[in-house]
Amino acid sequence: MNTEALFTPITLRSGHTLKNRVVMAPMTNYSSEEDGRVTASELAYYARRSGGVGMVVTACANVTDNGQGFTHQVSAHRDDLVPSLRELAARIQAQGAKAVLQIFHAGRLAPAELVDGDVVSASAVVSERPGSAEPRELTDAEVAGIVTAFADATRRAIEAGFDGVELHGANGYLIQQFFSPHSNRRTDRWGGDVQGRMAFPLAVVDAVQQAVKAHATRPFIVGYRFSPEEPETPGIRMSDTLELLDALDARQMDYLHVSLADYRGAPRSGEGEGTRLEIIARHLHGRTPLIGVGAVWQAEDALAVLEAGAAMVALGRSIIVEPDWVQKVESGREGTLRTALSADEQDLLVVPDPLWKAILGYAGWFPVVERA
């Protein structure tokens, strides 16, 4: 199999060159200290998976105290966390990968017990996800304050030595909540039609890029992750997303990262021809590099993502199950790739206790087998 396309370097707009087209996807691991500091087990987990990929995007880090979305989540909302973040960036970079900190605010998906009951969103609309709390609508001043918080988190990432940040505008979190007609019913400058609902995401991008100009002394990556559609009615449709991508491309993003469960999935709304990935890649037409993701287990899957028009491919569960995925494929050993794990392989795979318990506890999330 010719896998050369996966191992061609790519230079991003910022000037950073990735040694190949393979990225470690951002995945929550529930393994930080309660105050948001990185733990030794997290450092070992990332180090084990950073040796082959061109870039690692970390688990999402909250930018405000009430933006936390998970227990024991890495955080970037205080200056005293910079030394901890510095350890994480250095551990990834020591293995040869670019280190990118994903930053976010959970919005209405924040568990009430983690944010002292102060669950917020674009509007006071409850998520359709089971067990969701009713959020309160953010004031105009609070919205502006969260925009500033994203800029402050970017400054901390720069001070910590990261190579970039990824703005988490996907998976139903606050940036997406402002873009969504389901969660955003505002009539002020932060809402309205599709252009009005873009105001917050684009304000965050602008503030982050200004922080880079003000604080970075070397090239610094700014990427954006997005979910192309929502199941809710009303909800984000593919046509909305394509308008957002045009606006993000105009801001000269380093890359756009589509969040997909399966790279082969078709649009839920029936808009466009082909898969979601193909429609998005065709629309961008190479203007901004696109990262594709979703059920990429084999080398054939990764090549198919590139053939669909993506510039890079992200590995999620597959790089947890097979930390040497890149090295094996690059050396022609793709036939030896692990595609499942067993309950006694935690130490072998270097996975922190909380993540391991989640992997074994959520039926169907990971392929788990009995090994002889």
Which domains, and CATH codes, for the chain? 4-361 (3.20.20.70)
pLDDT at 274: 95
* pLDDT (tens digit per residue) in 47-79: 999 999 999 999 999 999 999 999 999 999 999
Inform me whether the pLDDT recorded for 372 exceeds 70. no
pLDDT at 335: 95
Inform me whether the pLDDT recorded for 161 exceeds 80. yes
pLDDT band of residue 238 (cuts 50, 70, 90) is very high
Buried-state track 253-277, b at ≥16 Cβ within 10 A, e below 16: bbbbbbbbeebbeebebebbeebbb
172 secondary structure, DSSP code: T
Buried-state track 147-162, b at ≥16 Cβ within 10 A, e below 16: bebbbbbbbbbbebbb
Q: What are phi and psi of 278, to 5 degrees?
A: -65, -40
* pLDDT (tens digit per residue) in 253-299: 999 999 999 999 999 877 789 999 999 999 999 999 999 999 999 99
pLDDT at 240: 97
Inform me whether the pLDDT recorded for 32 exceeds 60. yes
Provide mean pLDDT across the span 303-322.
98
* pLDDT (tens digit per residue) in 98-119: 999 999 999 999 999 999 999 9
Instruction: Compute the distance between CA of residue 140 and CA of residue 133 in angstroms, rounded to an integer.
Output: 21
pLDDT at 312: 99
Task: Give the residues across from 223 on adjacent strands.
Answer: 166, 255
Provide mean pLDDT across the span 153-166.
99
What are the distances in angstroms from CA 289 to CA 182, 258, 292, 311? 29, 11, 10, 5
Query: How much is the pTM?
Result: 0.98
pLDDT at 301: 98
